[in-house]
Every structure is written in C-alpha cells, then in structure tokens.
Amino acid sequence: MSGSDILGLLMVYLYVAVLLIVSERLLGDRPNLSRKFVHIMVGNILFILPLFDSRLVITFLAAAPFIPLTFLISPYSPLKIKHRASSYGHGLGLVYYSVSWTVLAYLFFNTPWVTGIGIAAMSYGDGLASLIGERFGRTTFSVLGDRKSLEGSLGMFLTLMVTLPVVLIYYSQNITPVIILGVALVSTVLEALTPRGLDNLTACFGAVAAYIILGGMSV
C-alpha cells in the first residue's frame, strides 16, 4: 500500500464521516433532505479516485466496506444502528450505491473516469431527479408503486448534461456531445423505469454501458 493509497483512504472515510455528521446535525429534522444530501454529495468521491495506486486498496478497503456499513444503518439491519440518511425512503438505496461503486472501482481501476461517469449518474443525476421531482413534479407516473415524474427525469437529464463533461474534463478526457447526450438519456430512462432504490444500480451501470457502447473508451 503506497502513501497515496493511504491518503486516498483517509480522504474517503473522513469525507463520508463529515457528510453523515452534517446531515444528521443540520438536516436531522428533514430526513428526506438529509438522505438526498448524502446521496448527492457522496458523488464527490469521484474526484478522490486518482489518488489510489492499487486496485485492491480502492476496491476492498475504500469501497467494499461501505456495503456492510450502509446495511448496518439501514432499516433492515439486525442492529439498532440508525441514521436518517439511510432509514428514510428506500432503505437499501445507499447499500446499492456502495455495491455500484465497488464493482466500478474494481472493473475500471485503470480508467477512473468511467467509474466517475457511473458515480455521477447515480449521485448527481438520480439524487437531483428525486429532489426536483418532489418540488416541481406535476406529471407523475408510478413504477411498481414508486412515484416518478417527468419533471424529475428532465432535471436528471439536464444535470448529467452539465456534470458529465465536468467529470471528463477533470480526467483530461475528450468530450463528445453525442456520447454525453446518449449517456445522459440512457441513464435518465433507466432511472425513470426502475423502482425501489434499484436505480442506484441501473442508472449507474446503464451510464457506463452507454459510454462504452457509444465509443467513449476509444475517444
């Protein structure tokens, strides 16, 4: 484990700890906003990825431990450990989030911008889709009892059209408008059609798959 790996681990755990404390202390009386705050802001981890030198460290020490940790603060935990960010809304949403990050960290260690695209889709895109939909959603529909809105989907699409280029610029990758459009569209549609927090899987992996299929890896 290199010094850069250690710095990356410290930054990841410190950042997540600060987010949980802030969400609980400042937004504790608004559990939905607290949950979405964590959901969106955890996405900034994508800017820490370049610090890691080891695939095993980033996968099994930085990402994978959050799978059991988020489960233990979920409503399904056998322990009495609760946090409003996880106990409100889709109880396993943050667990799926952690699973997605772990899989991407392992598969795309050598191309971290691909991991960044997946994280951006499920954090910024999906998170803002929910907030915008709850605030401005008028044209609603239901997917297996999960309420969605066209306004929320539009918010996610526009968010990704802005944030995906930022991710690629950060990683010094070329920006192709057609690819950005395709990734944003695919991820948005999958989020809209996926219920029960599983959109943290489908929107994420769908964005990555679209990026690869549309030729993003070879640009």
More confident residue, 149 or 186: 186
Confidence of residue 206 (pLDDT cuts 50, 70, 90): very high
Q: What is the percentage of the chain residues whose pLDDT exceeds 90?
A: 59
Q: What is the rounded CA–CA span in Å between residue 37 and residue 123?
A: 10
User: Which tens digits make up the pLDDT trace of 113-156?
Assistant: 999 999 999 999 988 888 888 888 788 877 777 788 899 999 99
Structure tokens at 11: 């930054």
Confidence of residue 214 (pLDDT cuts 50, 70, 90): very high
Structure tokens at 10: 């410290």
Pairing of strands 146-149, 140-143: antiparallel
From the centroid of its chain, how far is CA 23? 17
User: Which tens digits make up the pLDDT trace of 17-59?
Assistant: 999 888 878 776 677 777 788 889 999 999 999 999 999 999 9
What residues are paired with 148 via a beta bridge?
141
**Domain map of the chain by residue range?**
3-218
Contacts of 30 (CB under 8 A, 6+ apart): none
Mean predicted lDDT score pLDDT of the chain? 88
